[in-house]
């Protein structure tokens, strides 16, 4: 069965009961934000623009942090910046005072320009848009699992349901095996079996488990011919070569060479409004230190269509992260310790986040579909003119975007296609 360009992402924030006394400083001013929903349409459009822009910037900042951690270990990187934003924004609805400010600041939301209600409404629009317009390609959402004996603030649960489209479940977290199985079964279903074990073990002190998921299945607009796939060599570094199955296609592609950072950019469109951008730099660190949302805008604007002989390895990678350290480096410190203020979730218990866990998978092959019959393949005569070759046989970056909005749903770096 063929799988193609499939990315799946799960993020979970586990909120555990910590030691401490009941916190009765439950409500600060932003707790009433949800009452102010009748904002002017131009105001909400501006808020949506601010949140969308912040999400893009956050994705590249998070990539930089993950790259710094991964480089020392020579690991591939793959994650969904948008879904990290969704999960942390959903968590912020129950945060108060400095904990909430740190979440906003870390996500790039300007506290003076955006209220919690603005952010919630923006994510509601973004999630509804994705799920309404591309049901076959993408599904995104959140879910919250709450312990039977834990009473969460109704306003918090309602905000998750209304703005973050959350499914809600009651579980008995003291039954650690059963509750882990319940969460894993939900995750497996939402990711079409791609991630089947998010939770290995649960702390019986857990009172809430918040997850954000995204599933993406992409079918190439122009599929690769499996008969042209041949074994080849991929240069992991100067001293390491690994064998790969290298796909090949000679076709018209949109490409751009960014001279400022010496990087070749190839756009591979899916049979939808999404594309995969493959970035082949002369020097990876130069690209990683420079890349920002403005580059994607520039590349899409200035790309030119011409015939290339393209070689791309087939690969299937799976990544798993505990993001605590990275998020602390990004300024989100309070939520993990004694200073956490989640009185918007419960004012009767002192809560803290124990772990923010992230898993992702990406499969790339000739078809770009789970099981597809490919028809309408055009056959053209080969001409004798010189065809430029673009061969991804050394480390490259990958960014999966929605072309119209330039929303980044996945990004990463392939150092070794075999691990």
What percentage of the chain exceeds 90 in pLDDT? 40
Which among 100-109, 309-318, 343-352 has the top mean pLDDT? 100-109
pLDDT (tens digit per residue) in 243-260: 999 999 999 999 999 999
Mean pLDDT estimate for the chain: 80
Tell me the mean pLDDT in the region 210-225: 83
Q: Kindly indicate whether the domain formed by 6-218+317-362 is annotated with CATH number 3.40.605.10.
A: no
The domain segmentation of the chain, as residue ranges, is 6-218+317-362, 226-314+377-414
Q: Which of 270, 321, 296 is nearest to 9 (CA)?
A: 321
pLDDT confidence of residue 33: 44
Give 10-69 pLDDT, tens digit per residue.
333 333 222 233 333 333 334 444 444 444 456 678 899 999 999 999 999 999 999 888
Q: Is 237 helix (H, G, I), strand (E, B) or coil?
A: strand
Q: Is a pLDDT exceeding 80 seen at residue 333? A: yes
DSSP conformation letters of 139-197: EEEEEEEEETT----HHHHHHHHHHS--EEEEE-TTSHHHHHHHHHHHHHHHTTTS---
Q: What are the pLDDT digits (tens) for 338-387?
A: 888 989 988 877 888 877 877 777 888 876 532 212 212 222 222 344 67
36-45, 280-289, 327-336: segment of lowest average pLDDT: 36-45
Q: How far apart are CA 320 and CA 83, in angstroms?
A: 14
Give residue-wise pLDDT tens across range 84-101. 898 899 999 999 999 999
| Close Cβ partners of 370 (under 8 Å, ≥ 6 residues apart) | 1, 2, 3, 4, 6, 192, 217
Report phi then psi at 80, rounded to 5.
-115, 100
**Angstrom distance (rounded) from CA 411 to CA 80:** 6
The residue count for the chain? 419
The answer for residues whose C-beta is within 8 angstroms of residue 382's C-beta and 6 or more apart is 250
Q: How far, in whole angstroms, is CA 379 from its chain's centroid? A: 37
Q: Select from 274, 275, 256, 258 the least CA-distant residue to 266.
A: 256
Phi, psi for residue 102 in degrees, rounded to 5: -65, -40
Nearest-angstrom CA–CA distance, 272 and 264: 23
Q: How many CA atoms lie within 13 A of 235 on its CB side?
A: 9
| Distance spanning both ends of the chain, measured CA to CA | 21
Is the CB of residue 162 less than 8 Å from the CB of residue 124? yes
The reported pLDDT for the residue numbered 40 is 46
The pair of structure tokens assigned to 135 is 């049901």
Higher model confidence: residue 148 or residue 137? 148
Token pair of 303, please? 């790309």
What topology does CATH give the domain 226-314+377-414?
Alpha-1-antitrypsin; domain 1 (2.30.39)
What is the reported pLDDT for 73? Answer: 67
Pairwise pLDDT comparison (376 vs 166), residue with the higher score? 166
pLDDT at 362: 80
Q: Which tops the pLDDT comparison, 410 or 243?
A: 243
Q: What's the average model confidence in pLDDT over 274-291?
A: 92
């Amino acid at each position: 069965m063929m799988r193609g360009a499939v990315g799946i992402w799960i993020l979970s924030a586990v909120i555990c009961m910590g030691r401490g006394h009941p916190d009765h400083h439950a409500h600060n001013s932003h707790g009433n934000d949800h009452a102010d929903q009748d904002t002017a349409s131009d105001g909400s459009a501006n808020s949506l623009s601010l949140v969308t822009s912040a999400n893009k910037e956050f994705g590249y900042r998070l990539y930089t942090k993950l790259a710094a951690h991964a480089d020392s270990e020579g690991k591939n990187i793959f994650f969904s910046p948008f879904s990290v934003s969704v999960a942390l924004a959903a968590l912020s609805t129950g945060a108060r005072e400095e904990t909430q400010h740190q979440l906003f600041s870390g996500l790039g939301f300007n506290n003076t320009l955006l209220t919690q209600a603005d952010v919630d409404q923006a994510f509601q629009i973004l999630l509804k848009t994705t799920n309404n317009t591309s049901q076959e390609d993408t599904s995104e959402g959140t879910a919250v699992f709450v312990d039977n004996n834990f009473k969460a603030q109704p306003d918090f649960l309602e905000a998750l349901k209304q703005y973050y489209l959350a499914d809600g479940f009651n579980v008995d977290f003291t039954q650690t095996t059963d509750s882990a199985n319940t969460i894993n079964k939900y995750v497996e279903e939402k990711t079409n079996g791609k991630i089947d074990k998010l939770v290995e073990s649960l702390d019986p002190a857990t009172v809430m488990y918040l997850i954000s998921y995204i599933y993406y299945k992409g079918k190439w607009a122009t599929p690769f011919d499996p008969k042209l796939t041949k074994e080849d060599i991929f240069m992991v570094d100067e001293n390491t070569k690994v064998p790969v199955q290298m796909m090949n296609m000679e076709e018209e592609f949109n490409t751009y060479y960014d001279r400022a950072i010496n990087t070749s950019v190839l756009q591979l469109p899916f049979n939808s409004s999404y594309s995969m951008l493959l970035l082949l730099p002369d020097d990876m660190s130069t690209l990683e230190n420079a890349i920002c949302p403005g580059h994607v805008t520039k590349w899409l604007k200035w790309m030119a269509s011409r015939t290339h002989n393209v070689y791309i390895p087939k690969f299937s990678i799976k990544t798993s992260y505990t993001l605590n350290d990275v998020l602390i480096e990004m300024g989100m410190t309070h939520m993990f310790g004694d200073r956490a203020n989640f009185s918007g979730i419960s004012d009767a218990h002192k809560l803290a986040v124990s772990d923010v866990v992230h898993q992702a998978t990406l499969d790339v092959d000739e078809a770009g579909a789970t099981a597809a019959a490919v028809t309408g393949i055009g056959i053209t005569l080969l001409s004798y003119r010189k065809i430029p070759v673009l061969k991804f046989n050394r480390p490259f970056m990958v960014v999966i975007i929605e072309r119209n909005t330039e929303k980044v749903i996945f990004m990463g770096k392939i150092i070794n296609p075999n691990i």
